[in-house]
Amino acid sequence: MLATECFIWHLRKSNMSVCIDRLRYGWLSLILLCWTQHASGQPVRDGLDQLLMSFAEDSILRHAHVALNVIDLQSDRVVVQYNADLAMVPASTLKLITCGMLFFSQSEMESYTTPVQLEGYFKGDSGFVGKLVIAGRGDPSLGSPYMPGALGIDSIASQISGALLGLGIQRLAGSLEVDETHWFNLPENPEWLYYDLGNYYGGGCRAFNWSENEVTVGLSAADRPGAFCALRWTRPPEAIGDFTSFAKGTRSAVVKPNLYVIGTSFDRHKRIYGIWKCCTDDSIVLRAAMYRPAEHFLRSLKGELVKRGISFYDGIETDRQQTNVRLYPLTEIHSPALGELAHYALERSSNLYCEAFLHWLGNCFTGTSDRDTALQWLTKTLAGAVMENHAFKMLDGSGLSPKNLISASNMTAFLQHLALARPDQNFWEWIPEFFPLSDKSRDSVTCALRLKSGSMERVRAFAGYCVRSNQPTHAISLMVNNFVAEPTAVQRRISSFLVDLKGLLCK
């Protein structure tokens, strides 16, 4: 009880009563459930130890660090483990922590709200002099081409123009602006690696995000060996001046493109390096980080508002003697529910969304959206009430930093707490189903693995649940670090192990 009391006391300090009450309710529900969970567990499955040893001692994993922990959720017993308390790099399986805290705080039905307001004064019958301001609040889904239910430029422009026309405003003399002062952190986490930052997954999170802060870039094969692969197009088109291709073509067989983008959020001009094809008509599409997403949004928004009957007069100066300059709330743009965003984030392994969730949790429980404050709160909260040992170091919300650490036992303890704290809800449904091509039991609907994967250089990881008849039966965490074999061979071996593990757990 001491850890739980400290946990609740720490939450009271934030004075964020709504968020605190939700999390406290979830935690107390967990305690009551734990008191009643004393049924005897199932015996250890025959063959699990042999399966584990065969995997851990495989020559493909020679010199690698392997950690595994599997817990029976009904009996609270460890089914099988290996180096379970070893601090390991979790890669994107850390997203389960960030999304799990949203679930635990019962926030899945809430949404991001982006306010739109006017600042100025009315002039004449249909004019307004001043600014139209969109206030960024961290919504990662604005303009997303991938997230179901996300609002695109057409819907947003229709909503804003409808609100303007509803006030009788047809002419705006002033500017369109995005207010990004809701937080002051750099879009990228300082703990991320430089060579990740120019790519779409390292573009970071902002107070205002647009189109997942992503530019798609089209390259064609070089016309001769050693020549540069030509930059053909970008989406949005106006971003084409932000990129220069230094990628070289080769006649050698390129099994997997080795292309990457170099640059940061402060670099308008990014550079594309690597090796790709030459002497063919082939083309390839890259996904790169967008420079100043708000600029692209405002350019599109202005054009769409004009199409809807709103005219702009940028040259008219505001009368500084006016005394009736006011703020007028215009409308609010709402994201899909947080639960839907989290399900999408785990399905697509979106760093942007999970970093946005980190800021949201910080704002909810500490009163500030500062990244470091949110991380400190999250680390102290979990270390004091959930984690089984000190092998836990969380430096971002997405797992992109190679400095993140967690043990397999801590990961399964967290997953176990999520399963028990809200037994009437299913966090496991947010996690993708694990279905490798080699799995001969694909047709089985009664028992499956729901696992979040994680990968980075020399790191592969999986964490989640074994689910039988729509009930989670086991919490699973597997991490392999510092392997020296070919990544594809390691991935195949891990997939084979998980298929066999599923077969034994589902017996």
* Per-residue pLDDT, 507: 81
What's the rounded Cα separation, in Å, for the pair 409 and 358?
Answer: 23
Question: What is the Cα Rg of the chain in Å?
Answer: 25
| pLDDT for the residue 323 | 64
Residue 462 CA to residue 66 CA, distance in Å, equals 12
Rounded alpha-carbon distances, angstroms, from residue 253 to 219, 227, 245, 256, 273? 17, 16, 20, 9, 18
pLDDT at 3: 41
Separation in Å, CA 448 to CA 428, 431, 442, 444: 11, 12, 9, 7
Angle at Cα 255 formed by Cα 250 and Cα 260, nearest 5°?
Answer: 70
328: left (phi over 0), alpha (psi -120 to 50) or beta: beta
| 258, 285 contact by CB (below 8 A) | no
Distance of CA 404 to the CA centre of its chain: 15
Q: For residue 55, with 0-12 CB atoms within 10 Å meaning exposed, 13-18 middle and 19 or more buried, which class applies? A: buried
Q: What letters, b where the CB count within 10 A reaches 16 and e where it falls short, cover 62-71?
A: eebbbbbbbb
N- to C-terminal Cα separation, the chain: 36
- pLDDT at residue 183, as a whole number: 87
pLDDT in tens, the chain (507 residues): 334 444 444 444 443 455 555 555 555 444 444 444 433 334 445 689 999 999 999 999 999 999 999 999 988 999 999 999 999 999 999 999 999 999 988 888 999 999 999 999 998 888 999 999 999 999 999 999 999 999 999 999 999 999 999 999 999 999 999 999 998 888 999 999 998 999 999 999 999 999 999 999 999 999 999 999 999 999 999 999 999 999 999 987 655 778 999 998 889 999 999 999 999 999 999 999 999 999 999 999 999 999 999 999 865 555 555 667 899 999 999 999 999 999 999 999 999 999 999 999 999 999 999 999 999 999 999 987 888 889 999 999 999 999 999 999 999 999 999 998 887 789 999 999 998 755 545 545 689 999 999 999 999 999 999 999 999 999 999 999 999 999 999 999 999 999 999 999 988
pLDDT of residue 386: 87
DSSP 222: B
Residues 301, 176 contacting (CB under 8 angstroms): yes
- At which residue do the structure tokens 């991935």 appear? 491
Q: Which helix (H) or strand (E) holds 245?
A: strand 243-245
Tell me the domains of the chain and their CATH numbers: 2-109+366-505 (3.40.710.10), 113-184+293-334 (3.50.80.20), 211-289 (no CATH)
